[in-house]
């Protein structure tokens, strides 16, 4: 069976953002057109971030599917690790602030920046 790897940015039990991967089965459709199950979504929006765009540590306000349309996006975690996402890549952002917590930029969230010569265009899908 064919699968798709879903990258998830989430808040761990210690309040810190982490990445994990999850497999989604592509077990529907035909051998020529493999599909996953259908996933709900509420709405979507597009964002363009100029060359040099950088956003300090922050949490996701609500779970979002994020697809890179143009340019490159680097996500940096509190532990210094990072991942680079290029056109065609996607990830699921769900690193929301833990219930009852007050945001602390030395513990919570992730940093985001545009990388390379092209503006960053992203598609955000709210579910």
- At 69-120, the pLDDT tens digits run 999 999 999 999 999 999 999 999 999 999 999 999 999 999 999 999 999 9
Q: What is the pLDDT of residues 11-62, one digit of tens each?
A: 999 999 999 999 999 999 998 999 999 999 999 999 999 999 999 999 999 9
* Domain range 3-126, its CATH number among 3.40.50.1110, 2.60.120.10, 2.60.40.10, 3.40.50.300: 2.60.120.10
Question: Is pLDDT at 1 greater than 80 in this prediction?
Answer: no
In angstroms, the CA 110 to CA 10 distance is 10
Torsion of CA 17, 22, 24, 25, to 10 degrees: 180
Say which DSSP state 98 is in: P
- Categorize the per-residue pLDDT at 66 as very low, low, confident or very high, splitting at 50, 70 and 90: very high
Q: Is the dihedral of CA 117, 83, 66, 47 positive or negative?
A: negative
For residue 105, give the DSSP letter. Answer: T
Q: Which two tokens stand for residue 9?
A: 């940015």
- Map tokens 């761990």 to a residue: 12
Domain limits of the chain? 3-126
pTM beyond 0.75, yes or no: yes
The answer to whether 108 and 24 have CB atoms below 8 angstroms apart is: no
């Amino acid at each position: 069976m064919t699968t798709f790897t879903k990258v998830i940015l989430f808040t761990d039990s210690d309040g810190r953002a982490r990445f994990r991967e999850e497999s989604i089965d592509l077990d529907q459709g035909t051998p020529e057109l493999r599909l996953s199950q259908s996933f709900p979504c509420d709405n979507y929006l597009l964002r363009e971030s100029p060359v040099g765009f950088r956003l300090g540590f922050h949490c996701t306000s609500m779970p979002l599917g994020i697809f890179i349309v143009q340019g490159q996006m680097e996500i940096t975690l509190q532990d210094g690790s990072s991942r680079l996402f290029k056109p065609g890549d996607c990830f699921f952002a769900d690193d929301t602030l833990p219930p009852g917590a007050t945001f602390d930029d030395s513990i919570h969230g992730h940093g985001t920046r545009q990388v390379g010569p092209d503006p960053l265009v992203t598609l955000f899908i709210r579910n």
